[in-house]
Amino acid sequence: MSMWWFVTTLVITVFISNSPVYAYDNNPLQDICVAVNDSHTSVFVNGKICKNPKFATANDFFASGLNVSGIAAPGAGGAAKFVDVNNMPGLNTLGISIGRVDLEPQRLVPFHTHPRATELITVLDGILYAGFLVPDPANFFKSRLFSKILYPGDVFVFPIGLIHFQFNVGNKKATYLTAFNSQNPGFIFIPNSIFGSNPPIPDDVLTQGFQLSKTQITELRRKFS
Ligand SMILES: *[C@@H]1O[C@H](CO)[C@@H](O)[C@H](O)[C@H]1NC(C)=O
Ligand SMILES: *[C@@H]1O[C@H](CO)[C@@H](O)[C@H](O)[C@H]1NC(C)=O
């Protein structure tokens, strides 16, 4: 009897202590929490403030436009469109968002991470080479690359926080949907974060950090700022 009690307690304890692993964004404490669109708010909470549910409408839970590509910035090589809490207020507290990416042939979505979300991509058109880096537990100065060539209908996942990239290896445009388990996944583009910071990271730090000369660092700053 006491043995079963011990095992049951252990199982419950392990479940409770591990359960935050399954939920990155806050779990909702109400049925709906449609975000108030108030850019002047001076109250900051972990998420957005809910509007009175009486004033919620179907349009708060609706978005359109993923049937067409976003507008590519000149030279960007592709375009992305995201439906997240910032343009679909009904997503507030739901821990989910989606996007569409269109990438020109032989162009790259450069090394980046999403600090708050795992990303799941589904290729709709074209051929992608996608990969992510996992720190090697035996030597954290090394990593392992997990990568795949992806065709229409293929799905690939980039675990939360890990550095990843997508490259269009085909000879026509590639289009894919991208889903996140966060209402606001965040984006950190590694080269731009480091070489385009404001204020800039001092030369001595960057030259030593990347084992490059000041001239090379200047060149990288110019490219990524
Ligand atoms: C995309 O969908 C919108 C409706 O949400 C529609 O107005 C538009 O014509 C569609 N565009 C194309 C190219 O299908
Ligand atoms: C929020 O309001 C701003 C202007 O105040 C507007 O540009 C933006 O589209 C609005 N966002 C939503 C999701 O309604």
| Cα separation values, 82 from 77, 177, 209, Å | 17, 10, 33
* The predicted structure's pLDDT at residue 16: 47
Give the pLDDT mean for 30-56: 86
62 lines ligand 1 (CB under 6 A): no
The pLDDT tens digits of the residues spanning 175-222 come to: 999 999 999 999 999 999 999 999 999 999 999 999 999 999 999 999
DSSP one-letter string for 162-182: --EEEEE-SSS-EEEEEEESS
What pTM was computed for the model?
0.85
Ligand nearest to the CA of 68: 1
Q: Is the pLDDT of residue 95 over 50?
A: yes
Q: Give ∠ CA 10-116-150 in degrees, rounded to 5.
A: 100
User: Hunting for tokens 């972990």 — which residue is that?
Assistant: 46
* The predicted structure's pLDDT at residue 28: 86
The pLDDT tens digits of the residues spanning 106-138 come to: 999 999 999 999 999 999 999 999 999 999 999
**What residues does ligand 2 touch, defined as CB less than 6 Å away?**
37, 39, 87, 89
| Cα separation values, 212 from 110, 150, 187, 189, Å | 20, 34, 26, 20
Nearest residue CA, atom 6 of ligand 2?
37
* The predicted structure's pLDDT at residue 181: 97
Report the sign of the C-alpha dihedral through residues 159, 163, 168, 169, in that order.
Answer: negative
* The predicted structure's pLDDT at residue 8: 55
Q: Which residues pair with 142 in a beta bridge?
A: none
* The predicted structure's pLDDT at residue 184: 94
CA of 187 to the centre of ligand 2 (A): 21
Q: Is the pLDDT of residue 22 over 60?
A: no
Domain ranges (residues) in the chain: 189-225
Residues 114, 193 contacting (CB under 8 angstroms): no
Give the pLDDT mean for 150-174: 97
* Pick from 224, 112, 97: nearest CA to 166: 112
